[in-house]
């Protein structure tokens, strides 16, 4: 067995440990750089990781990852769904985006890419980065699991912003962006929407979500954890629906729970 295949086998064991099964829908994020400590050639590491997911999920499973290009926001750079790379979303996300047969949602700033049985759902999403009709609402419907690689979920769970939108937090508002996009051979300026914060409110988000959300999830055995021993890289998984429900309770009891403190300046109350 060559070194790449050894890594695939090791990663399959990790996915077993965090209860990823055949047919699952998985959204993955994080930082896979620690895998560079393995003795596998650099070019084979990302392929080994994707192979392990494909073997575990099977033909009925689906893997998604962020393919956002927020660097295009407030620019005139044309968004090309096939050619525009993701920006600062991690090596594995970009690898998945550029993989043959990968599907990408059409949003110039906050897109998601996917591969597998249910990836086509990305072809019919809203023009808003979050909320009803977005990939995030579909993840909940599909009972997706989030897999965090190398970064604890408390520091990397974008689903929290979807929750801010659907609970109507007052410190965010929907902003319209008119941006150039390519559709076939034509370039047109089209409207897209994102949830943004009132800058004058001096809002400070929580750096980590342990206290409010993940400590609860650990107590309820909702968060699975393992480690890839050869590289000491940790991997976690949780059902996005579980996080949704735990976080929703907090937003219902305190609309400002995701902030370090309620804002003193509230332009939305005028």
What is the separation of C-alpha 111 from the centre of its chain, rounded to a whole number of angstroms? 10
Task: Give the chain's radius of gyration (CA, Å).
Answer: 19
For residue 165, pLDDT beyond 80: yes
Cβ 23 vs Cβ 60: under 8 Å: yes
Residue with structure tokens 């914060």?
A: 197
User: Averaged over 225-240, what is the pLDDT?
Assistant: 97
**Rounded Cα distance, 242 and 265, in Å:** 33
**Rounded Cα distance, 110 and 99, in Å:** 19
In this prediction, residue 206 carries a pLDDT of: 79
Show the tokens assigned to 231.
């590289």
Instruction: Give 178-212 pLDDT, tens digit per residue.
Output: 999 999 999 999 999 999 999 888 888 877 776 67
Half-sphere exposure of 148 (CA within 13 A, CB side): 19
For residue 147, pLDDT beyond 70: yes
In this prediction, residue 202 carries a pLDDT of: 83
For residue 43, pLDDT beyond 80: no
Instruction: Give 106-140 pLDDT, tens digit per residue.
Output: 999 999 999 999 999 999 999 999 999 999 999 99
Report angle CA 6, 10, 12 to the nearest 5 degrees.
Answer: 115
CA distances (Å), 261 to each of 137, 183, 202, 258, 265, in order? 27, 43, 10, 8, 12
For residue 231, pLDDT beyond 70: yes
In this prediction, residue 1 carries a pLDDT of: 64
Instruction: Give 66-106 pLDDT, tens digit per residue.
Output: 999 999 999 999 999 999 999 999 999 999 999 999 999 99
In this prediction, residue 270 carries a pLDDT of: 75
In this prediction, residue 119 carries a pLDDT of: 97
Residue with structure tokens 């996915």?
A: 15
Q: Comparing C-alpha atoms, which of 223, 90, 226, 209 is closest to residue 155?
A: 209
Cβ 14 vs Cβ 20: under 8 Å: no
Instruction: Give 56-67 pLDDT, tens digit per residue.
Output: 999 999 999 999
In this prediction, residue 30 carries a pLDDT of: 94
Show the tokens assigned to 137.
């609402």
CA distances (Å), 74 to each of 69, 148, 175, 208, 215, in order? 12, 30, 12, 28, 38
What share of the chain in percent tops pLDDT 70?
99
Q: Comparing C-alpha atoms, which of 88, 2, 4 is closest to residue 46?
A: 4
* pLDDT, mean over the chain: 94
For residue 47, pLDDT beyond 80: yes
In this prediction, residue 201 carries a pLDDT of: 84
């Amino acid at each position: 067995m060559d070194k790449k295949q050894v890594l695939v086998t090791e990663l399959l064991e990790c996915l077993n440990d965090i209860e990823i099964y055949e047919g699952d829908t998985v959204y993955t994020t994080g930082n896979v750089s620690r895998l560079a400590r393995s003795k596998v050639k650099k070019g084979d590491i990302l392929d080994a990781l994707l192979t392990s997911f494909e073997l575990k999920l099977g033909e009925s499973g689906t893997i998604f990852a962020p393919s956002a290009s927020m660097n295009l926001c407030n620019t005139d750079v044309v968004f090309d769904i096939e050619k525009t790379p993701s920006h600062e979303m991690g090596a594995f996300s970009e690898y998945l985006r550029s993989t043959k047969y990968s599907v990408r949602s059409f949003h110039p700033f906050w897109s998601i890419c996917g591969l597998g049985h249910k990836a086509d759902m990305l072809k019919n999403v809203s023009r808003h980065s979050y909320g009803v009709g977005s990939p995030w609402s579909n993840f909940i419907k599909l009972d997706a699991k989030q897999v965090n690689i190398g970064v604890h979920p408390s520091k990397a769970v974008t689903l929290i912003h979807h929750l801010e939108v659907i609970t109507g937090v007052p410190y965010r508002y929907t902003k319209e962006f008119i941006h150039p996009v390519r559709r076939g051979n034509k370039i047109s300026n089209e409207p897209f929407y994102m949830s943004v914060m009132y800058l004058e409110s001096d809002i400070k988000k929580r750096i980590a979500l342990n206290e409010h959300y993940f400590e609860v999830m650990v107590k309820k055995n909702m968060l699975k954890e393992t480690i890839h021993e050869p590289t000491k890289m940790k991997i976690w998984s949780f059902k996005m629906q579980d996080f949704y429900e735990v976080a929703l309770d907090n937003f219902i009891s305190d609309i400002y729970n995701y902030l370090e403190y309620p804002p003193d300046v509230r332009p939305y109350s005028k």
